[in-house]
Amino acid sequence: MSQDKLRVAVLISGTGSNLKALIDGMLSGALKLDIVTVVSNRKDAAGLKHAKKASIPVNVVSHTEFPDREAHDAAITGILQTADAELVVLAGYMRILGKDFAKQYNGRIINLHPSLLPLYKGLDTYNRVLKAGDSETGASIHFVTAGLDSGAVISQVRMPVLDDDDANSLSNRLGPLEHKLVVATVDLFCQRQVQYQHDKVYYQGRPIQQPLQLQADDTFF
Ligand code: GRF
């Protein structure tokens, strides 16, 4: 890989607040990346406005217009290839991508998930945390593989669960932490400090035994 700005594609389905965090990082110069395309499977995704405002090419690929997952995935792959994306970031992208897609982007596609993986893969994470009575929760960024929310975890951010928390308050408190996590983690890719080999995350050339943990000063330990 060259040492030029990393060419990043971001896939969204909804609000796009994590996309906005990445755009802000790009525009401020904090992140050495070019967001080369934003893809949404929903034409009404509110997050598209952030991309348009920053003049980033937007592609809506509605899954309803394709006969099956493979055809939908192929349309997205075509866009990513044309955009020459080096890294694909799933930021609130609510469609499952097929195993061929995951294979094609092996080691170059990451997903943000609102739980401390491997806990609570899938949906409704906040209510499941509350029901279990957990004392902490958080968010994870992992490499995408064929299994749902199952690839090697790169990084996490943690926060306590308070006595009076409900799903809303957890989501409201986790949101800003997710933004920091996504920016700090994508920055590792921009700095070419993270690789994926044989189902393992390599950080600064060494395999990590535990996900990198984001600290209050936005660095990892
Ligand atoms: C985040 O909570 C993320 O963890 C989950 O979807 C949400 C996306 O939020 N995968 P936004 O669209 O980036 O605001």
Digit-coded pLDDT (tens) for 38-69: 999 999 999 999 999 999 999 999 999 999 99
What mean pLDDT do residues 67-84 have? 96
105 Cα: distance to centroid of ligand 1 (angstroms)? 21
What mean pLDDT do residues 84-101 have? 95
How far apart CA 133 and CA 117 sit, in angstroms, is: 16
Contact 54, 8 (CB under 8 A): no
HSE, side-chain direction, 13 A CA sphere, residue 94 = 10
* Residue 142 designated active-site: no
pLDDT at 3: 58
Q: CA angle, corner 43, sides to 21 and 85, nearest 5?
A: 55
Contact 89, 10 (CB under 8 A): yes
47 lines ligand 1 (CB under 6 A): yes
What mean pLDDT do residues 154-180 have? 98
92 lines ligand 1 (CB under 6 A): yes
Q: Could you tell me which of 57, 60, 62, 72 has the C-alpha nearest to residue 7? A: 57
